[in-house]
Amino acid sequence: MLLNKNLSKKSIEEGEVFLIDKPLKYSSFHIVKELRDFLKNKFKLDKLKVGHAGTLDPLATGLLIICTGRMTKKISDFQNLDKEYIGTMSIGSTTPSYDLETNIDKTFPIDHINEKLLNNAKKKFLGTTDQFPPIFSAVKKNGKRLYEYAREGKEIDIKSKKVTVNKFDLNRISMPEIEFEINCSKGTYIRSLINDFGKELKSGAHLTSLRRTKIGSNSINNSITINEFVENFKS
């Protein structure tokens, strides 16, 4: 949904849906808070329900669906939609967080990897499979986030869950870097998928960039940044 300048106090409270392009290094919570604070101030609201329909890691960019007022009741409907991502991975090395949040901890050979091996490996992840979330994630175990255990250096049993990958394309291969595109179900951790893909190659891999481009039929092409949102309503 492109920005509607006919927003009003009534429409915000009754419920609006905004497609926001989250920038790098901002948390999804930060974007929600910034939008809520702006709308409350702009429309003189004492309180306002605002929520997002699917977290993006701070190191990921792209589409966030943000709902206000009564439309927050529709958040679970948006969350259940399939997601689409583009990104890059680095083959031959891993990090504890499976991305650039932490430093490389292990390196692996890549000389044996060719296009045939890459294509055979990616096919293993199509369809419904069991996936373990990264230890550096917000998944809760015994009331505590997994990343809290990770930062304390504690080992903990993590349960797998079913995820579905509808598409896993390797768009550009320039070893050790590979550009990819993925369409997947709710709850899929792209970081885990890339880490597992590295293992399938008898090597290692970690995520180096990630951008969410679609949630269901909602496209990043129809989104705006939080700064553009604020600028549009400055009077």
SS3 47: coil
Q: How far apart are CA 106 and CA 109, in angstroms?
A: 11
Number of residues that this document lists for the chain? 235
Instruction: Report angle CA 117, 119, 124 to the nearest 5 degrees.
Output: 95
Residue 228 token pair = 């553009």
H or E element, residue 169: strand 161-174
Phi, psi (5° rounding) for residue 105? -110, -20
Greatest pairwise CA separation for the chain in angstroms: 62
Q: How far apart are CA 81 and CA 85, in angstroms?
A: 13
* Candidate list 21, 37, 46, 57, residue with the active-site label: 57
Instruction: Report angle CA 192, 194, 195 to the nearest 5 degrees.
Output: 65
Q: How far apart are CA 219 and CA 126, in angstroms?
A: 23
Q: Give start and end residues of each alpha helix (H) in the chain.
A: 9-14, 28-42, 75-79, 115-123, 146-151, 190-200, 226-232
Q: How far apart are CA 40 and CA 38, in angstroms?
A: 6
Residue 37 token pair = 């604070």
Catalytic-residue membership of 57: yes
Active site members: 57
